[in-house]
Copies of this chain bind each other. A is one copy, B any other.
Amino acid sequence: MGTTPAALATFLALERLHLDETKTDLLINAGTCGGFQAMGAAIGDVYLTTAVANHDRRIPIPSFTEYGIGKISSLQVDNLSKELGAKKGICTTGNSLDAHELDHFHMNQNEASVKDMEAAAIAWSCELHKTPHFGLKVVTDIVDGDKPTQEEFMENLGTAAKSLQEALPIAIEFICGKGHDEL
């Protein structure tokens, strides 16, 4: 949970595959997320990320601000989104499960549909290894709703995990044998 272990685990996994001379074509970040109802997200929705960015790395020094946000494009997978009946949107990442006022401001700035605690870090490690990525994320809770995240998260985690377990094999089967431009 959180960006440092996510970045490290991703980097080491890709490095290891590279050592074995296995070319990694694509990394899928499969997991759960919070959703923004203002952007049309509902609990149980499956989202495919179009990009990722950080909302809790505020560095108000010119040239560092953009680095802090660290926006990275995901592989665009429009055909997969049709196959899965999945929504598409930007995932904003932060190291806290909750979100205060300033977090909300920066999550809005990132134009996020969903929020998690790892995606931007995973994408950063993918970029270091020149490996395309996208996130396949299921919504457990509503970030801009009135329920405390931790309650809603625990309530819906089981259902979301089941939905993820269904979507992921379909996605893998659809992807295998296709070029990136067919996804």
User: Which residues of A approach B to under 8 Å, CB–CB?
Assistant: 1-4, 7-8, 11, 54, 56-61, 64, 67-68, 95-98, 100-102, 121, 124-125, 148-150, 153-154
Contact = CB atoms under 8 A, between A and B. Distances in A.
| Tally of this chain's copies | 2
Contact of A4 (B1, B4, B96): B4
A67 B3 contact: no
Contact of A61 (B2, B3, B8, B154): B154
B58 A96 contact: yes
A150 B58 CA distance: 11
Contacts of A57: 2, 95-96
A3 B1 contact: no
Nearest to A99: B58
The 3 closest A-B pairs by CB, nearest first: A58-B96, A4-B7, A57-B95
B4 A56 contact: no
A8 B9 CA distance: 10
Contact of A8 (B7, B67, B149, B150): B7
A124 B154 CA distance: 27
Contacts of A11: 8
A125 B11 CA distance: 14
A1 B59 contact: yes
16 contacts: A3-B95, A4-B7, A8-B8, A56-B56, A56-B95, A56-B96, A57-B95, A57-B96, A58-B95, A60-B148, A60-B149, A61-B150, A68-B95, A95-B95, A100-B100, A100-B102
